[in-house]
Structure 1
Amino acid sequence: MPIDIYMFKVSPPCRAVLMTALEINVKLNEKLIDPSKGELLSPDFVKLNPTHAVPAIDDNGFVMWESRAIMQFLCNKYAPDSTLYPKDAKLRAQVDMWLNMDISLYIKIRQTLVTGYYGMPVKPEDEKQLWANIKLIDQLIGNRQYLVGDRLTIADLSLLATSAGTTLLDQDLTEYPHFKQWSDGLAQSLPYYQEINIVAPEVRQQFINNMKAYMSKMKEMMNK
């Protein structure tokens, strides 16, 4: 029985889970959620995921959320011997370390780039911290093909989805050559990359317009 995943494609964490599932040949049944229609706050979805965020999965009654935890769970349950989430304690610890670094980067992207796209004010200190984080990641990646060891891991997939998110938001990583070389290399080598991560410009713009309208409506309601 396929695992239900509640998602929308523009979301980097959702795309990271999709790529993980493809790597370990796990079938996911996509159930699309539209944040611009308030579906994250619908009673049915909040009952499933009280944090009202995507992705969330329902594996035959076992429900969980948080993309990186989902990726770890899928590997542990369905591909325990896969090097995608290595068994070796030190290698796994390094994967977990990168996953946590990716969380910090993703939060900063949401606080700055995404917020700015939706027409909301951005704190200068948050924007400064975002590019400081990217510069640090660029330095840490160096000339590596993969973040951990010599094979693809879920750390690569998670950070790659986040990296693709910066492209969707029209950000150029040319000033961060190691980060760009690493992400471009994976984008070229993963056969599913384009299908999962590339969103047509018109689809992206429509989503942004819808979210702007929704957030404006919510702001008006809060000010009444």
Structure 2
Amino acid sequence: MGIDLYYVPGSPPCRAVLLTARALNLNLNLKLVDMNSGEHLKPEFLKLNPQHTVPTLVDDGHSVWESRAIITYLANKYGKGKPLYPEDPKERSQVDQALYFNIGTLYHRWADYFFPQVFGGAPADKAKLEKVEEALKMLDTMLEGHKFITGNNMTIADLDYLASISSFEASDVNFLKYPNIKRWYETAKSSAPGYEEANAAGLVALKELCKTLMKK
């Protein structure tokens, strides 16, 4: 039956799944969801995901949503023996920790700062920007002495952060002023399989959307 991915190209969480699929050499049946027309609220989609969000993955009838749950599922099922999601409990805990830090702190703070500007026409909030900068400083410290997020091997944490942090380019957040993040970013972009197709193209779409919405 194959693996279906319901997605929106510009979405950072969707791009994290696309990057992971490429790293695992998986072919996904891509199903574009027109959220503007309410396609994600139709009964057939709600049966797959009552939270009606993208990305949503369906693998042989098994539905998974929330991007970090999806990428860990794919790595667990299709990446056995690969360093993308190490099986050693201590090494895996570092990957999980990084994923939770991203969704709960780094990406969360950036979205809380930037998305109200894009989708609600709100002015930039200096206090929220300071929280983003605080999280970036934490990440810069975490990367000290590491080639990748958790060590010397690329993991799904790097793919998750790559989709998230590249999206910061659509905003006024200058993450490249942090030396360890800048070094990691360039390394991760050149190391991630299929980066241009899986992430860069969607990033362009996100930038264009943000420019259009913020002009209104």
Unaligned stretches of 5+ in structure 1?
A: 217-224
| Amino acid across the alignment from 2:65 | W
Q: Deviations over 1:2-39 (max 9, x none)?
A: 20001111111111111111111222111111333333
Percent identity, aligned pairs only, is 36
Q: Is the 8 A contact 1:106 1:162 kept in 2?
A: yes
Aligned ranges 1:126-205 → 2 under 5 Å: 126-169=128-171, 171-199=173-201, 203-204=205-206
- CA distance in structure 1 between the partners assigned to 2:140 and 2:18 by the alignment: 25
Q: CA deviation at 1:125?
A: 3.3
- CA distance in structure 1 between the partners assigned to 2:20 and 2:206 by the alignment: 23
Q: Which stretch has the larger CA shift, 111-120 or 198-207?
A: 198-207
- 1:221 aligned residue: none
Q: Which stretch has the larger CA shift, 167-176 or 177-186?
A: 167-176
Q: CA deviation at 1:149?
A: 2.8
| Amino acid across the alignment from 1:81 | G
Q: Deviations over 1:80-129 (max 9, x none)?
A: 22211001010000000000011021221221112212343255433321
Q: Which stretch has the larger CA shift, 48-57 or 82-91?
A: 48-57
- Using the size of structure 2 for normalisation, the TM-score is 0.88
- CA distance in structure 2 between the partners assigned to 1:116 and 1:93 by the alignment: 35
- 2:109 aligned residue: 108
Change (3 A) 1:134 1:201: closer
- CA distance in structure 2 between the partners assigned to 1:150 and 1:188 by the alignment: 15
Q: CA deviation at 1:53?
A: 1.3
- 2:99 aligned residue: 99
Structure 1 ranges of 4+ moved more than 4 A = 209-213
Change (3 A) 1:204 1:87: closer
Give the aligned length: 214
Which secondary structure does the structure 1 equivalent of 2:135 belong to? helix
Aligned ranges 1:201-220 → 2 under 5 Å: 203-204=205-206, 207-208=209-210
Higher RCO by CA contacts (8 Å cutoff, separation 6 or greater):
2
Q: CA deviation at 1:191?
A: 4.1
- Using the size of structure 1 for normalisation, the TM-score is 0.85
Over the aligned positions, Cα root-mean-square deviation in angstroms equals: 2.4
Unaligned stretches of 5+ in structure 2?
A: none
- CA distance in structure 2 between the partners assigned to 1:200 and 1:64 by the alignment: 21
